[in-house]
Structure 1
């Protein structure tokens, strides 16, 4: 398989980049604009590879694998300018990414990260999965959803529908099937994930089945978008994203797939009823809010995680209105000390993750907070905070210590770069 790194100047013409850079500098200052311009070029120059079949492989930064989630969110800022590159070059790239994602999803809808070729490279050779295409086979609802969200976003931004082909239909059918099977994980699912001799968040209990769950109408997941194991099998942000993406499918599927579109809509309605019945709880301080995870057996987990889909990110990934009262109450919880992963320090305040050390805040979550704030002043504060906490590296990191930004994880994390760029673009 031959690959080629595209010329960033063809995808993002200097005059387009300079225009955005100038407008961002006017709103937020030159340091923010400089970081924005560097990140926009770096993602195109260093993470994407155009393959000889026209599809596009996207690495996540410092790991040479393609995550279905990360590769979609890495493209968020480019959707804003997809119509500005000559000869539709950027639109071609976005279509190629979707087509690659759909091939992977069709190959194994339970996997979260893939290799460029069937090389056998993987995160952990001792995992239960031995497919040479798979970097990792952690089943996460968002890995099924993000390719369809990006497919819809590309269509909306460019008018292109050539990615909505037979492979799209096959991938959509596979996703609907898996989401439906996993509404009865205990009886119908044969998915297992076992990683020996590791920490609890990197494997599933009960010989790979995960903690017990009862029927709720929701769909089960083994892992969160952080790639950490779910404590309880029904992840609420993931279910809400699935509902949204299932309801988008009728707009994307060809007319002759009316049956599949109806299946997707009916499943979305079942998941929504399950979330309403089991996923909304009464908090003593914040009132009715969404839980983060439940098990249908009476247990619930009240928290939020920096990774998308999160409760905080629901307007971006699940079609929830920013002014929705349930979202506003949940948001107040997430951005408070009642969320065990909300940290306040001398350098930053925001949402972190059990995936990284305690008191590490994530720039992705800071960007999400700004993008959903409904306040230009707050968005400006957060874009300046992210720019000022790169420890002078010129990269937006995965997470950093709220008291010392020179202590950080992931020296190059392209998803974080892109979320910063999306926030900077939202200012203008």
Structure 2
């Protein structure tokens, strides 16, 4: 099936006109507004910020992958995105967002090693993982192994070196980050790292350290549990790639061992015995027995654990965690007249994120819950017919990010799964 056939199917199958039009707009948002092909590379901006995030760009095209076998132009664009992502990571594995030119003036000055083409150097373990997920899914979909060349093999080793170094951040890592404007903005807790840019002390756990969350906010404790879960999953993808393409037994065993260490760390240090909910996953920990109990809308999140394929929906610890994070006991769960769901310290209080509402539906087996969430999203766009970053639970005309393609793409993915499969 190609994109045109899918959209024609939507015209026939989806009876609600408002939902149908929103689906079509959201589905096409990235391909119509955010893609720029430059030679054999594809550059995809996040929307109203003219830069390419590794995380966002991967998520922005995820809902297109099912159609690349019947659309050569689309396949080549996504292949070009994979190539661009790999080149960017090789430029700086600690950067999370990039430019397609070295001449752009940045909004702010950061005290860290800033190379040309780097827009932002907030080290987030998930940002390093997303290009692997995209390449793996692309390969499984169209069986094009040409992306796995010697450059990609070099990328694998850089990825592993970085993840392993950050298992011992305090002892081995040279990465630091300080945002000079954070003090003036009164955002020292979220926009910069404490301890002169090093972050707080952590103890070895087997997990890998992250400076920032998927929201681009600084970690409170630097072992982010959903980020490490995602890392474990993509290490499983890498194991398959190395086994099938590169036939390197030493590299394969290195990957297996690293995955084991991270999984063991999550099991030993990443859970918390809650007096109300039982055993749950923490959002962050430091290895010293301290935990951050919350969830954030951005993916990877605790809510997204089955979507990431770390565990399944019926897993007992996940279900306990889900009950916790979808309650007022999660400090970033909000409920108002129009909506209820998970927000983020990245945005204002009482603002929920369509990404979180969509992810809640994607990780539910309850048709009533799914339909309620779809309705909640469709009816709270501020009359734009697009998803935004976040909106006020009592007034959807108050929202952040007019143009936020990741949210649009994820919503389209949900509608394909629930209405068009």
The alignment's TM-score, normalised by the length of structure 1, stands at: 0.93
Matched, 1:91 2:75: yes
1:128 aligns to what? 112
Residues 351-402 of structure 1 show CA distances to partners (whole Å, capped at 9, x for unaligned) of 0000000010000000000001023332222122111100111221000011
Deviation at 1:42, TM superposition (A): 2.5
2:10 alignment partner in structure 1:
20
Residue number among 388, 393, 411 corresponding to 2:402 in the alignment:
411
**Contact 1:122-1:134 within 8 A present in 2 as well:** no
1:377-392 equivalences in 2 (<5 Å): 377-392=368-383
Q: Which 5+ residue runs of structure 1 have no aligned equivalent?
A: 1-10
Q: Deviations over 1:330-349 (max 9, x none)?
A: 11111111111111110000
Any conservation in 2 of the 1:236–1:290 contact (CA below 8 Å)?
yes
Q: Is the 8 A contact 2:110 2:177 kept in 1?
A: no
| Aligned residue among 377, 385, 399 for 2:390 | 399
How far does residue 120 in structure 1 lie from its aligned partner after superposition? Answer: 4.5
Tell me whether 132-141 or 196-205 shows the greater mean CA deviation.
Answer: 196-205
The total of aligned residue pairs comes to 412
Match of 1:288, SS state, is strand
Give the structure 2 partner of residue 82 of structure 1. 68
Q: Distance in 2 between matches of 1:20 and 1:166?
A: 42
Question: After superposition, what is the alpha-carbon deviation per residue over 1:171-216, rounded to whole angstroms, capped at 9, x for unaligned?
Answer: 1111111110001111100000011141121000111100111111
Show the counterpart of 2:196: 207
> For the structure 1 residues 223 and 132, does the alpha-carbon distance in structure 2 shift closer, same or farther, using more than 3 Å as the test?
same
- The answer as to 2:383 corresponding to 1:359 is no
Aligned position for 2:23: 36
Root mean square deviation, CA, Å: 1.5
Distance between the aligned counterparts of 1:368 and 1:123, measured in 2? 31
CA distance in 2, matches of 1:81, 1:320: 27
From 231, 240, 248, the equivalent of 1:242 is: 231
1:66 and 2:52 are equivalent in the alignment: yes
Which stretch shifts more, 394-403 or 14-23? 14-23
- C-alpha displacement at 1:424, in angstroms? 0.8
Match of 2:248 in 1: 257
Structure 2 distance, partners of 1:218, 1:135, is 27
Q: Is the 8 A contact 2:124 2:210 kept in 1?
A: yes
Asked if 1:51 corresponds to 2:38, the answer is yes
Q: Are positions 1:157 and 2:141 aligned together? A: yes
For residues 91 and 152 of structure 2, the distance between their equivalents in structure 1, rounded to whole angstroms, comes to 12
Task: Report the Cα distance in structure 1 between the residues aligned to 2:62 and 2:379, rounded to whole angstroms.
Answer: 22
- Is the contact made by 1:21 and 1:36 (CA closer than 8 Å) also made in structure 2? no
Q: Which runs of 4+ in 1 moved over 4 A?
A: none
What's the secondary structure of 2:279's corresponding residue?
strand
Give CA deviations for 1:149-180 in whole Å, capped at 9, x if unaligned.
Answer: 11111122222222222222111111111110
1:193 and 2:191 are equivalent in the alignment: no
Distance apart, 1:409 and its partner CA: 0.3
